Amino acid sequence: MSCTTATADSDDGMHSSIHNESPAPDSISNGCRSRGKRSVLKKGPWTSTEDGILIDYVKKHGEGNWNAVQKHTSLARCGKSCRLRWANHLRPNLKKGAFSQEEEQLIVEMHAKMGNKWAQMAEHLPGRTDNEIKNYWNTRIKRRQRAGLPLYPPEIYVDDLHWSEEYTKSNIIRVDRRRRHQDFLQLGNSKDNVLFDDLNFAASLLPAASDLSDLVACNMLGTGASSSRYESYMPPILPSPKQIWESGSRFPMCSSNIKHEFQSPEHFQNTAVQKNLRSCSISPCDVDHHPYENQHSSHMMMVPDSHTVTYGMHPTSKPLFGAVKLELPSFQYSETSAFDQWKTTPSPPHSDLLDSVDAYIQSPPPSQVEESDCFSSCDTGLLDMLLHEAKIKTSAKHSLLMSSPQKSFSSTTCTTNVTQNVPRGSENLIKSGEYEDSQKYLGRSEITSPSQLSAGGFSSAFAGNVVKTEELDQVWEPKRVDITRPDVLLASSWLDQGCYGIVSDTSSMSDALALLGGDDVGNSYVTVGSSSGQAPRGVGSYGWTNMPPVWSL
């Protein structure tokens, strides 16, 4: 790009002074092996002279044998550097400039299918390099992450995920140990984020589902529901009964309401789920390191069936909504330490919330319950917090959209204060054309009908009680549901039985809240799930003991 060209003209640009010219004491130290002829290899930006030399070399000798370049030319660059320069900048037919809409769409689609397979993606984008695509994607991720938008447009979900399974089977995927480890550490940029973000979105509207999102996502990966790269080695995951049981310590504000909903740890001992849990080496949360990590953990209010809720959120595994967590560093922890953390690490309850809705927080609703109240109140605190956070999230998202003069949306009557501040990052969002996604996103939060809920999920419905809607955004009408997928089936089943019960009755927020945090949670927990699904039930309509056997898949 121009950067290189600019510095190239001035021969040794700034980079050189920093990056190099510095003698590499060991030629391997900079990632290049040298046979000693020229142990000092230049690094940093390429100059036009160097470009010319390399071009000449390739013209004469062709591509490949890059380490021979420094032998046959005066170029003091390692083979890797030469190859990179050639591939990314010098080779003919390179397409420069911004990605076209078609290209962008293709990238998104391919990423949904392949994950971070930049090289493979580049093969489908003539003239584009893997580096270019990678950069584009990372930029896009950051942008959308800031804006709290889904990584993938709503059109990309079931088919893509289904495709990914075939992709897994039909493509040679090198599952070497190293790469698997890396993948583990960065689970993020892949389409697997569909799941994580999906769940994060759920969490954004229903904090109770927040942490469970990790668990469910992991489990979905483990069951092969969507993962192409991880399914072969990622064990199914659920919070261990012990974790769940002991997790009351993490929610002091609601433990009295929640904890009793669980049976004793022994209750789980003989289940297949439990066996799977034991094999899990992944910590669902890690609260100490990264601000985003708290996003997973800080709202850890484990309504007993919240994982089911989470499943019900997006039975189609429709791509992510809400802030994107790109990494799951907790995967790095050993089983023991992970579980220990799970059990003992206190979580700052609202940090993520504050981060994600800063615009709203800057002008907090005067009538809102103080946050501290949420956490000091034991009995009502959970409900207040749920409501409060749902409002906040919804308001923040709406403020993002409503504040834009470019487009209007008609269907929202927001009951909470809506700031007119455009959150940081939304300008770029609008500029970059992702504003439309925002609208879709918004439409999602307005779903109120059961049929839409089947795609939109409980969180939307819950938000729908806060944000009363008049119109429906057809964008979110479920298009395809892969009924062969266990998670879909599970979610659908759950939705049939419980979710609608809450959501169809959108006229009363108190009803929903009662279902959420009130007696229904406890009462329904003992109700054995039936397939009839006629009787409306609350969030807790499934108990742990009633879980469909998806976990053992």
Partner DNA sequence: AACTACTTCAACCGCACGTAC
Partner DNA sequence: CGTACGTGCGGTTGAAGTAGT
Contact status, residue 146 vs residue 424, Cβ threshold 8 Å: yes
165: left (phi over 0), alpha (psi -120 to 50) or beta: alpha
- 64 sits near DNA (criterion: CB under 7 A): yes
Of 44, 148, 207, 548, which one interacts with DNA (CB under 7 A)? 44
Q: With CB under 7 A as the contact rule, which of the stretches 207-215, 339-347, 419-427, 446-454 interacts with DNA?
A: 419-427
**Residue 255 to residue 442: CA distance in whole angstroms:** 33
Q: Determine the interface stretch with DNA among 31-39, 202-210, 303-311, 471-479 (rule: CB under 7 A).
A: 31-39
Q: Looking at beta carbons only, is 88 or 263 nearer to DNA?
A: 88
Q: Is 303 exposed, middle or buried (0-12, 13-18, 19+ CB in 10 A)?
A: buried
- Residues 6-25 as x/- pattern, contact with DNA by CB under 7 A: xxx----xxx--xxx-----
Q: Kindly identify the residues of this chain, within the stretch 217-236, that bind DNA according to CB under 7 A.
A: none
Long-range contacts of 165-172 (CB under 8 A, 24+ apart): 165/224, 165/226, 165/228, 167/113, 167/114, 167/228, 168/227, 168/228, 168/229, 168/231
Q: For DNA, which is the closer residue by CB, 234 or 258?
A: 234
Report CA-CA distances (Å) from 317 to 207, 255, 482, 491, 533.
19, 30, 10, 10, 21
Residue 467: left (phi > 0), alpha (psi -120 to 50), or beta? beta
Binding residues for DNA, rule CB under 7 A, total 70
Q: Which bin fits 44, alpha (ψ -120 to 50), beta or left (φ > 0)? A: left
Separation between Cα atoms, residue 446 and residue 473, nearest integer Å = 7
Distances 69 to 29, 257, 365 between C-alpha atoms, Å: 19, 70, 65
Of 132-140, 239-247, 360-368, 369-377, the segment contacting DNA by CB under 7 A is 132-140
**Minimum CB separation from DNA for residue 451, in Å?**
37
Distance separating alpha carbons of residues 217 and 190, to the nearest angstrom: 13
Taking residue 269's Cβ as centre, other Cβ atoms within 10 Å add up to 11
Give the span between the Cα atoms of 377 and 517, in whole angstroms.
Answer: 13
Per CB under 7 A, 393 contacts DNA: no
Nearest Cα neighbor of 389 from 459, 473, 493, 490 is 459
Q: Compose the 152-191 pattern: x for residues touching DNA by CB under 7 A, - for all others.
A: ----------------------x-xxxx-xxx-xx--x--
Among 66, 462, 500, 542, binds DNA (CB under 7 A): 66
Of 77-85, 162-170, 241-249, 527-535, which segment contacts DNA by CB under 7 A?
77-85
Instruction: By CB under 7 A, name the one of 40, 55, 84, 369 that touches DNA.
Output: 84
CA-based R_g, the chain, Å: 26
Residue 64 or residue 346: which is nearer to DNA going by CB?
64
Please choose, out of 137-145, 150-158, 220-228, 539-547, the segment that lies near DNA by the rule CB under 7 A.
Answer: 137-145
Tell me if 59 contacts DNA by CB under 7 A. no
Nearer to DNA, 183 or 473 (CB): 183
Instruction: Give me the 432-471 binding string for DNA, x by CB under 7 A, dash otherwise.
Output: x---------------------------------------
By CB under 7 A, residue 275 contacts DNA? no
Q: Phi, psi at residue 467, to the nearest 5°?
A: -110, 100
Applying CB under 7 A, which of residues 37, 59, 60, 98 lies at the interface with DNA?
98
415 or 428: CB nearest DNA: 428
CA dist., res. 524 & res. 530, Å (int)? 12
Positions in the binding site for DNA (CB under 7 A): 1-4, 6-8, 13-15, 18-20, 29-33, 35, 42-46, 64-68, 79-81, 83-85, 88-89, 98, 116-120, 130-132, 134-136, 138-139, 142-143, 146, 174, 176-179, 181-183, 185-186, 189, 424-425, 427-428, 432
